[in-house]
Every structure is written in structure tokens, then in C-alpha cells.
Structure 1
Amino acid sequence: MEKAEASVSEDETKTTEKPTRAGFVALIGATNAGKSTLLNQLVGSKVAIVTHKVQTTRSVIRGIAMHDDAQIIFLDTPGIFAPKKRLEKAMVTSAWSSAADADVLAVLIDARAGLEGGALAILDRLQESGAPAQKRVLILNKIDLVKRETLLALAAEANARLSFAQTFMVSALTGDGIGDLLNYFAGEMPQSPYLYPEDQVSDIPMRSLAAEVTREKLMLRLHQEVPYAATVETESWEEKKDGSVRISQVIYVARESQRKIVLGKDGETIKAISIAARRELHHMLGRKVHLFLFVKVRGRWADDPERYREMGLEFPR
């Protein structure tokens, strides 16, 4: 009799347990469509760097959001454009590979630019791929900057070229429409155990995220070709007894002339970059940060397979 009671109790426990969901959403779009800003809004924390410059994101960034009973892993992909250099080819290949493997493919379009600036080419390629329409959603971003009638016309034009399961209109900057997106994505995730701890917002190691923060400040500070010719690596991360952290990073550039630009007159530029990066890292980590930056020349680093592995990219042959 006791065994029967125990059996009923176990069955009741199984039926009352709420099934969990987990899956992947790939965010793809042309450069400067606002993917990284949207990712940070969806996750509720900064996990991807954001600048006004194109091609800021170089590799796939994973941001993790918990919503209702679902764990949604967002893949922020590099902006899709017509690549010319080896690094650019690796970035675009990475974006398309992530899109192919995701449970939901979210196509982000800058509502101000419309289908110009690369969005049309993305829609055409997706049409050729034969991917199921129920897997795709259209997101029109920056709706706070565009009139409603323009948005409706753009949505109709995009859907005429490529069918989507749903169309959303959001402002990644203000957060308008983010709740509707999360509700939809959560409902589309397949039943699965959670793939990451529930309090984790990214799978990026802190050493790598710290390097990205410094690269963001470098891109915001410098202009022309220098930001695109530079990469940042965290060489050491030392936990101090007082709870602070000592971080040593190297900014690699391709030429000596670029090194001088990054340093600036009397070291003013590198100092400004260091101060901005240290402030943000202090805010992210919630503790004091001692940041030391060095600038070195590494000729043709963009042709070095090891650098691609550091960035999580496949080296194109």
C-alpha cells in the first residue's frame, strides 16, 4: 500500500512540473541595422559592443534571455555586406552559418534605410535558400525615426519579396516593442532543458568581453581605417586581494603609422581610450578595475589563422 501511494505522488509531481523551452534566434541584417543594440535590449544587459561605425561586430555574440518558461539564446551576427578582404569574408560566412542553424531567423531592417544598403540582397539570398517561411520573422528597427505610413509600406514591400511568419516594429534604442518580440520568441522555442544557467546572460568569457569593450572605445575614438585595422586581446587577468582586478591588454595594429595614431600626441589618445574602457568595465564588473593598454604592430594580423580562432571565426582559405 505504501508503494502505491509513493507511485501516485511521483506521477503527480511529473504532471505538475512545467516543461521548459530553449532554443536559438539568429539576428541577421545589413551593417548598422542595429542588431547589437537590439541584442542588449532583449537580454537586458550589455553583451555586445555598439558603435555608429559599420562592421563593429566581427564574430557571433551569444546573448541569453529568460522569458516565461523559455531560455532564448540570441545570436548577434556580423553585419552582412559584400565582402572583399579575408576578414570580411570570414565575418559574412559566420553570419550565414549561424542563420542556417537557428530555430528562428530574425531579419532586422533599418526602417530609415529601407531595402537599400544591403537589406534587399539579404532578402534575395534567403529566397534562394529555400528556408521555411515559418522560421523567419521580419523586424523593422528605428521606428521612432520613421513615419507610420512609411513603416507600413516598407513592411508590405519586404513581405512581398519574402514571406515571413510575423512582422514586428521596434526601436532597439528606446525598447519600444521589445516585450512583444520576447513573447513571440519564447513561444517558438522547442521544448528542452535549459542550455545555460538561468542567471547567465552570455557565453562570452569575461576576458574576451573586456577586450571587446576596449575595441568599442577605440572605434568610437578613432576614424578612417585605423579601427578596422586593429584588434584587441586580453593578455592577463589578475584578481587582487582587495577585490579589484588588474587587466592587461594589447591593441594590435598593422603598421607603425597606425600605432602612432592610437597612442596620440603625448599618449593622449590611448589614455582617453583607457579611461573610457576602465569606466565601463568598472560598471560591468561592479568593482575597481586597473586597466593597462599596450599598442603593438603585428603586420598582416588579418592573415593569421590564430587571430581568427581568437575571434571565433573560420579562417577562409
Structure 2
Amino acid sequence: MKDITSQYMNADGQPTPVNTRAGFVAIVGKPNVGKSTLLNSLLGVKIAPTSPRPQTTRKGVRGISNQGDTQLIFVDTPGLHRPKDALGKYMNGEVQNALADVDAVVWVVDLRHPPTDEDSMVARSIRDLPRPLTVVGNKLDVSKYPEEALRLYTALLEGRTHETQSVMLSAQNDVNKVAQLRTALAANLPENPFFFPVGAASDQSREQWAAEILREEAMKKLRDELPYAVATRVTSWTERQDGLQRIEAEIVVDRAGHKGMVIGAGGKQLGAIGAATRKQLEVFLNTKVFLGVQVIVIPGWREDQEALRELGYE
């Protein structure tokens, strides 16, 4: 992981001082516990899609936080789960890849509920890792018995011998606690030059970022299992002289019958997805956006290795 991103330059293109700290922190957990929400809160900017549905995150997304002489690179990961198809196997592989080469791990758990089999699976994957681990009990604001829940989660790590700490918070609302968590993680970073230029927020391209925003809005509005059969990609992005960003994108489904469901009667569903996506893009880009969205069918893409590569899952 690290050799891919090592740039060691600041915003002026100059090497960063040698007395800096920098490192990678993996954010792991089962689906739908708030990992992406925590990442966005730690960064103070949205780089990862969020929705109420499990498995919104499919790729390991790196978010970069620069605090003085420290640089934290957070690696958001898909929810660890029992895969049902090649896409699910890819997502679990993203988690294992992230854990293989980081300096610290954050395990996010949902304090509203006791541990499940999926939580136990996450615990087994991180229990013996020889690096600092922080258990983040999330959704504190809506939990009835947070201390008891956290105790049950930490019990899954019994036998762990490496540094472990825990904190309870609401990733969406606890600004101060999130800032304290970020400071605590930064304090344990190794001495390194910066891996990314100062000012960079993510290693995503703008096309990848916009495609994920589109998929987020599709997942929010589509019902039942259809959201998990949807992928998105940006096919072109041009900027006019007046500043208008013209973006063309595709929503990919794996069955012909799903295409009409995404488009909706009279194009109403697709229009709503596109309008919500454009609104988000305009807020973050601070400029007008023209967004064109088409729906295409790639039969069985979730089980097709070539299609997965074409859609960026490689």
C-alpha cells in the first residue's frame, strides 16, 4: 500500500521535513455500523458514500488528514461479511488488504446491539494484529446500554496482547470526541515524511468520487435488493470556460428487468437520483454541474471478473 502513494511532497512541491509523523489507519467493522460516517467526520469533508443500507462501501477509500506535523491516512473498508458472490469476495479482500499494511486499526461497532457472528468474524481478523487497536463504540446517542454493549464487544478480543483502547461516541454528532480520537491516533504515528501532498483529501480521482456519490443516491432511493445490483461510473468530465462542470455517468444493473426499475415511470426515479447527485456535487465543487446519467445492463456483472475490473473492482 505505502509504496503506491509515497509522494513526500507538500503543496509547493517541496519535500516535507524529516521530523514529521505519518501513517495509515484502517477503519474496519461489519456492514452498516457507521465506518464511512466516522471517516467523513474525522476528515471534516465527505469523501465516502453513506446510506442507511449495509454494504454501501465497496472499495477501500483513503482519506487524508493533515494536522500540523502529522499526516493520518485513513483507509475506509467495506463491511466484513459472508460473501454471496464475486463482488462480496472482492469487498472482503479489500478489508484483508487494508489490514496487511497499516500502522493502526480502528474497529467500529454499533452500541445499539450486542455482537453478532459478523462482529465475531471481524474480531478474529484483528485480535492478533501486532499494531495498536482502538474500539470505537458508535451510535452512542441512540444506545440504551452502551457500556454493557462495549464490554461485550471488547470481550471478543480476549487474549489480545497488543495495545488496545476504546471510546464511545456518535460519529455523526460528537465533534469534540471525534477530534480527540483523531489526536490520539496521530500521537501514535511513526516518524515518516508525508505520503501525500498537504491539502490532498483523498487518493480518489474526481471521477471515482462523483461515481460514488451517484451510487450513494441510487442506494438511498432504490428498494429491496436492487441497490446491491447497481454499480456506477463516470464516463466523461469536462469543464466549460464559464466554470460549468459537465459530467456524463452510467448506472450499471445486472438484469434487463432492473433497468426500468431504476428509470421509473416517465423517468421519474432516474430524475430524482440524478437531481440529488447533482445537488451534492454542486455543494462540494462550489459550482454549477450538468449531470447526464444513463442506465445500462451488464448481465451478471457481480459474478463476472472482467466486468468487475471494468467497473473498478480490481
Task: Name the counterpart of 1:171.
Answer: 170
Question: 1 CA distance for matches of 2:114 and 2:70?
Answer: 32
Task: Name the counterpart of 2:92.
Answer: 92
The AA in structure 2 aligned to 1:237 is W
1:73 partnered with 2:73: yes
Runs of 4 or more off by more than 6 Å in structure 1? none
The structure-2 alpha-carbon separation of the partners of 1:23 and 1:308, relative to structure 1 and needing over 3 Å to count, comes to farther
Q: Which moved more, 1:177-186 or 1:35-44?
A: 177-186
Report sequence identity in percent: 36
Question: 1 CA distance for matches of 2:310 and 2:191?
Answer: 33
- CA shift, 1:182, in A, is 0.8
The AA in structure 1 aligned to 2:197 is P
Question: 2 CA distance for matches of 1:304 and 1:42?
Answer: 35
Equivalent pair of 1:24/1:74 in contact (CA under 8 Å): yes
Task: Name the counterpart of 1:231.
Answer: 231
- CA shift, 1:278, in A, is 0.4
Question: 1 CA distance for matches of 2:258 and 2:49?
Answer: 22
Q: Deviations over 1:130-150 (max 9, x none)?
A: 322x52221111111224543
Question: 2 CA distance for matches of 1:307 and 1:263?
Answer: 22
Equivalent pair of 1:246/1:289 in contact (CA under 8 Å): yes
Equivalent pair of 2:112/2:146 in contact (CA under 8 Å): no
Equivalent pair of 1:29/1:107 in contact (CA under 8 Å): yes
Q: Which moved more, 1:262-271 or 1:292-301?
A: 292-301
Give 1 or 2 for the bigger CA radius of gyration: 1
Task: Name the counterpart of 1:62.
Answer: 62
CA-atom RMSD in angstroms: 1.8
Question: 1 CA distance for matches of 2:142 and 2:223?
Answer: 26
Task: Name the counterpart of 2:30.
Answer: 30
Correspondence list, 1:261-272, <5 A: 261-272=261-272
The AA in structure 2 aligned to 1:111 is L
1:293 partnered with 2:297: no
Aligned to 1:118, the other structure's residue is in SS state helix
The AA in structure 2 aligned to 1:168 is V
The structure-2 alpha-carbon separation of the partners of 1:173 and 1:32, relative to structure 1 and needing over 3 Å to count, comes to same
The AA in structure 2 aligned to 1:227 is P
Question: 2 CA distance for matches of 1:157 and 1:190?
Answer: 28
Question: 1 CA distance for matches of 2:75 and 2:211?
Answer: 19
Question: 2 CA distance for matches of 1:149 and 1:70?
Answer: 32
- CA shift, 1:253, in A, is 0.7
